[in-house]
């Protein structure tokens, strides 16, 4: 069978040429959605950029469609859920923009350090005021990299050639992976207080929203230069503007903004010492060629039965495997998500043990589901069971597997362990249960907002916690305690209808006697 590919948005000619060496290709750009729906049934693959919206009717019309490819990173214009339900693989190009984004971050850094934009504006205004634009050198300065993924790593390599000292904050990267780049991992507060320049390359997740705000900027050295070429919202724009107005910061460069296009009320527009660009990180000719080739190569691979590096959804499992492992695949994903949120700083070398009846199955699907759960909360990339192994390798995460005998009373369990903790779960029919949290015996359903409260068991503890949560209109839907001994070390597990804000956690820490920390999670 000859495979046919429809290219519905403009992509680089190199990608088209590669496709035509292997497949039948038709380029029809700018089609209205009605025409696309009429056209797509004849094709096995559809390639788009951001212009074409691949809606549920488009996917459902694609009777032969096996793969939808986005020549770029995001897939917001593709209905991934519908594609998954229809068995259509969705792929993107996660690597093609890496160098472009890293180089743009360096360009912004240099523009700040040497004050190039205001100097350019001055000379065009007929001035020659060299003394107004005294800059600083990057050599021997300390660069703090927030987020040491693919782009952060490329920035580190370039910054080393400038003779900079490198620190990084990324709780999900191993020390060994950082050391290989010549980078020392440190906590965020240490990075903030020691860096002369900070560049941000972290994904926008709930935990990372306003990761750098007023509190963090108050730790910074006077004259700090800050670059955000990652995602709008990771850096608090109002806090940066205030720090620039007060003169505490030396400058800030942003390529991304909380609202895009940037709005007239954005405080960075009127703040001094800023360099602003309209989300140009991936806007190079080379990057467009790379992403076109990257998706073209993957389309050829998928249509010939080979895996795709940029897969963002999971292919359907065979019916017999799904019947045997279905609940445990979901359990593996939830265990991974819980472990990352609870023990995220310990990701590196992990051990998973499949016990009981599970030990007799092929556990490769379980392994991929577990890795997907571990990775999805901490990366901008869409992680699926197809690409989870490769992403884990890139982040220095190794997962050793073993089998064992299930604890008494359980048919099968999955136990995930790291240097600092462990979580274990089981499935009873279709209901998932967590039965171990670190050393504590527990029993709760992994679904909802959670607050874990380690403490020494004593009268009144649960009431004190409940009183503070109730006063803040946070409802407890379920509660259980796992303790190691009477009046001994105990873990209170609360399932909540709402997440617990930072200020309420502070109230609990200061107002509840015997509390030994708080851990929040969302599953």
- The domain that holds 486 is classified in CATH as 3.30.1330.90
pLDDT confidence of residue 496: 97
pLDDT confidence of residue 30: 93
Do 413 and 461 share a domain, yes or no? yes
Q: CA distances (Å), 20 to each of 27, 47, 308, in order?
A: 11, 13, 19
pLDDT (tens digit per residue) in 260-278: 899 999 999 999 999 999 9
Q: What is the mean pLDDT of residues 423-450?
A: 95
Tell me how crowded residue 517 is: count the other CB atoms within 10 A of its CB.
10
Structure tokens that stand for 329 in this block: 């695949």
Sheet containing 224-228: order of strands = 184-185, 165-169, 142-146, 197-200, 224-228, 249-254, 274-276
Measured on CA atoms in the order 101, 107, 112, 116, is the torsion positive or negative?
negative
Measured on CA atoms in the order 168, 169, 175, 181, is the torsion positive or negative?
negative
334 is catalytic: no
Query: Does pLDDT of 345 surpass 80?
Result: no
Residues forming a β-bridge with 146 = 169, 200
Does 429 map to a domain? yes
Do 472 and 389 share a domain, yes or no? yes
Does 281 map to a domain? no
* Gap between the Cα atoms of 400 and 367, Å rounded: 10
pLDDT (tens digit per residue) in 78-133: 998 888 778 788 999 878 889 999 999 999 999 999 999 999 999 999 999 999 99
pLDDT confidence of residue 136: 97
Does 70 map to a domain? yes
Q: One of 17, 127, 260, 431 is an active-site residue; which one?
A: 260
pLDDT (tens digit per residue) in 171-204: 888 888 899 999 999 999 999 999 999 999 998 8
Which residues constitute the domain of residue 419? 319-522
Q: What share of the chain in percent tops pLDDT 90?
A: 76
130 is catalytic: no
* Gap between the Cα atoms of 219 and 492, Å rounded: 34
Nearest one of 350, 497, 509, 337 to 420, comparing CA atoms: 350
The kind and range of the H/E element at 309 are none
Query: Does pLDDT of 76 surpass 80?
Result: no
Do 37 and 142 share a domain, yes or no? no
pLDDT confidence of residue 284: 94
* Gap between the Cα atoms of 451 and 287, Å rounded: 43
Q: One of 114, 184, 248, 279 is an active-site residue; which one?
A: 279
pLDDT confidence of residue 320: 66
Strands 398-404 and 349-356: parallel
Do 408 and 323 share a domain, yes or no? yes
Do 351 and 472 share a domain, yes or no? yes
Do 120 and 90 share a domain, yes or no? no
pLDDT confidence of residue 378: 84
Residues forming a β-bridge with 143 = 166, 197
Does 314 map to a domain? no
Query: Does pLDDT of 308 surpass 90?
Result: no
Does 308 map to a domain? no
With cut-offs at 50, 70 and 90, classify the pLDDT of residue 367: very high
Residue with tokens 């009981």, as numbered in its chain: 356
Greater confidence, 311 or 196? 196
Query: Does pLDDT of 65 surpass 90?
Result: yes
Query: Does pLDDT of 380 surpass 80?
Result: no
Does 82 map to a domain? yes
Q: What is the mean pLDDT of residues 339-345?
A: 81
pLDDT (tens digit per residue) in 391-409: 888 888 899 999 999 999 9
Nearest one of 150, 5, 145, 151 to 65, comparing CA atoms: 5
pLDDT confidence of residue 319: 60
pLDDT confidence of residue 360: 87
pLDDT confidence of residue 451: 96
pLDDT confidence of residue 394: 81
Q: What is the mean pLDDT of residues 301-322?
A: 74
pLDDT confidence of residue 382: 62
Q: What is the mean pLDDT of residues 192-221?
A: 94
Rounded to two decimals, the pTM is: 0.73
Do 31 and 161 share a domain, yes or no? no
* Gap between the Cα atoms of 250 and 288, Å rounded: 34
Contacts of 20 (CB under 8 A, 6+ apart): none
Do 261 and 181 share a domain, yes or no? yes
Do 133 and 64 share a domain, yes or no? no
Does 494 map to a domain? yes
Do 249 and 361 share a domain, yes or no? no
With cut-offs at 50, 70 and 90, classify the pLDDT of residue 138: very high
Looking at residue 87, which CATH number applies to its domain? Answer: 3.40.50.720
Does 479 map to a domain? yes
Greater confidence, 10 or 316? 10
Query: Does pLDDT of 1 surpass 60?
Result: no
pLDDT confidence of residue 69: 96
Which of 268, 303, 338 represents a domain boundary (last residue)? 303
194 is catalytic: no
3-state helix, strand and coil shares in percent for the chain, rounded to the nearest 5: 40, 25, 40
Average pLDDT, the chain: 92
DSSP structure string for 128-169: --GGGG-----TTPEEEEE--SHHHHHHHHHHHHTT-EEEEE
pLDDT confidence of residue 111: 98
Q: One of 201, 231, 382, 436 is an active-site residue; which one?
A: 231
Q: What is the mean pLDDT of residues 350-359?
A: 94
Do 173 and 111 share a domain, yes or no? yes
The number of distinct structural domains making up the chain is 3
Do 454 and 410 share a domain, yes or no? yes
pLDDT (tens digit per residue) in 457-485: 999 999 999 999 999 999 999 999 999 99
Query: Does pLDDT of 322 surpass 70?
Result: no
Q: What is the mean pLDDT of residues 481-494?
A: 94
């Amino acid at each position: 069978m000859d495979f046919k590919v429809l290219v519905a948005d403009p992509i680089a000619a190199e990608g088209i040429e590669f496709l035509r060496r292997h497949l039948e290709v038709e380029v029809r750009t700018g089609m209205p959605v009605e025409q696309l729906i009429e056209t797509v049934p004849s094709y096995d693959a559809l390639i788009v950029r951001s212009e074409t919206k691949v809606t549920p009717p488009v996917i459902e019309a694609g009777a032969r469609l096996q793969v939808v490819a986005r020549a770029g990173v995001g897939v917001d214009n593709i209905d991934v859920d519908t594609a998954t339900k229809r068995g259509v693989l969705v792929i993107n190009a996660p690597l093609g923009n890496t160098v472009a984004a890293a180089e743009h971050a360096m360009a912004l850094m240099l523009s700040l350090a040497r004050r190039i934009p205001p100097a350019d504006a001055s000379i065009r205004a007929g001035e020659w005021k060299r003394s107004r634009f005294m800059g600083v050198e990057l050599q021997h300065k300390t660069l703090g990299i927030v987020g040491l993924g693919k782009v952060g790593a490329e920035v580190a390599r370039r910054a080393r050639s400038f003779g900079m000292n490198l620190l990084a904050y990324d709780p999900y990267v191993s020390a060994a992976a950082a050391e290989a780049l010549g980078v020392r991992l440190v906590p965020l507060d240490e990075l903030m207080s020691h860096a002369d320049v900070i560049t941000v390359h972290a994904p926008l997740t709930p935990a990372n929203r306003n990761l750098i705000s007023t509190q963090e900027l108050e730790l910074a050295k006077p004259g700090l230069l800050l670059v955000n070429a990652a995602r709008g919202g990771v850096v608090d724009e109002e806090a940066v503007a205030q720090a620039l107005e007060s003169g505490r910061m030396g400058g800030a460069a942003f390529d991304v903004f909380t609202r895009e296009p940037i709005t007239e009320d954005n405080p960075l527009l009127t703040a001094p010492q800023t360099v602003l660009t309209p989300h140009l990180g991936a806007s190079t000719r080379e990057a467009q060629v790379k992403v076109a080739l990257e998706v073209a190569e993957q389309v050829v691979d998928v249509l010939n039965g080979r895996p795709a590096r940029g897969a963002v959804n999971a292919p359907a499992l065979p019916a017999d495997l799904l019947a045997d492992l279905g609940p445990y695949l979901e359990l593996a994903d939830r265990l991974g998500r819980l472990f990352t949120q609870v023990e995220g700083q310990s990701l590196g070398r992990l051990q998973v043990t499949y016990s009981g009846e599970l030990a007799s199955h092929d556990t490769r699907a379980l392994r991929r589901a577990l890795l997907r759960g571990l990775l999805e909360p901490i990366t901008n990339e869409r992680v699926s069971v197809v690409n989870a192994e490769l992403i884990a390798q890139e982040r220095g995460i190794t997962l050793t597997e073993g089998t064992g005998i299930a604890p008494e009373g359980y048919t099968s369990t999955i136990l995930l362990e790291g240097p600092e903790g462990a979580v274990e779960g089981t499935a009873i029919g279709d209901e998932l249960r967590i039965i171990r949290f670190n050393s504590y015996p527990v029993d709760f359903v992994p679904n909802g907002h959670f607050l874990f409260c380690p403490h020494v068991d004593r009268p009144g503890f649960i009431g004190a916690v409940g009183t503070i949560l109730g006063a803040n209109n946070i409802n407890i839907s379920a509660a259980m305690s796992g303790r190691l001994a009477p009046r001994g070390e105990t873990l209170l597990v609360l399932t909540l209808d709402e997440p617990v804000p930072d200020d309420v956690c502070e109230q609990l820490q200061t107002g509840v006697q015997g509390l030994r920390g708080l851990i929040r999670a969302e599953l």
